[in-house]
Every structure is written in structure tokens, then in C-alpha cells.
Amino acid sequence: MTAPVRLCALNDIADNSSNGFIAATPEGRRGFLVIRKGDQAHVYINSCPHIGSPLDFEPGKFLNLEKTHIMCSTHGALFTIEDGHCISGPCAGQDLEKANARVTNGEIFLIY
């Protein structure tokens, strides 16, 4: 197990909002998306299961207008925030790849 990789402080992301990050992983540099819900951070690999494209339609913007779902910029697929499950679009039934992350003392870390 390697040392945890810090993504950001939880307070760097507004509640009910998102941001994107690039971080070094054992597989190389990868893009991540983080959705903050209160004291929780939902962290996924920034890659649509349909064609592998990044999900953000503007840097760090991953949520639909209502901020109820993660939305893919390429085809408009919608994913639940809590588990990354696609409920609408060409990848319906598939899931975003959840990153192993935790919030510790107000900081978001990737764990390997």
C-alpha cells in the first residue's frame, strides 16, 4: 500500500458542487471528479463508461443544472451521485469507476 494521495480540502469544493483533479496513481496520471455533499465526497474516475471521454462540460463542472446527477458532456448520460450508476443515456445500466477515497480531517485523499 502506498501513501494516500491528497486531492484537495473538502472546503475547496462548494457543497452540492463538483471539481476535477489530475493525480498520480499506480497506473499513471488519471483524471478524477469529486462531488461534495455536505461532509461527504463522492470520487470517480473522470471517464464515461460509454466511450471513455472525460465527463466535464467545462473544467470541473460535472453536475446537471439541477445538481441532482452527474452528467456526461458527450451524450448527456446521467449518473447517480451516490453510486455512479447510469440511469439515462447510451451507457444506461453501467457505472462510473469509483475511486477509493476518504475524507480525513477535512481533506480528500485517494487510497491505494
What pLDDT, in 10s, does the model give residues 33-45? 999 999 999 999 9
Q: If you write DSSP's letter for every residue of 5-70 in order, what string do you get?
A: EEEEEGGGS-TTEEEEEEEEETTEEEEEEEEEETTEEEEEES--TTT-----SBTTB-B-TTSSEE
Chain segment 48-102, per-residue pLDDT in tens: 999 999 999 899 999 999 999 999 999 999 999 999 999 999 999 999 999 999 9
Is the CB of residue 34 less than 8 Å from the CB of residue 8? yes
Beta bridge partners of 29: 24
Indicate whether 1 pLDDT > 70: no
Output the pLDDT for position 27.
85
Q: Report CA 84 to chain centroid distance, whole Å.
A: 8
User: Can you list the domains of the chain with their CATH numbers?
Assistant: 5-107 (2.102.10.10)
Q: What is the pLDDT of residue 79?
A: 98
Q: Grid coordinates in use for 57? A: 462540460
The CB-side HSE value for 47 (13 A sphere, CA atoms) comes to 10
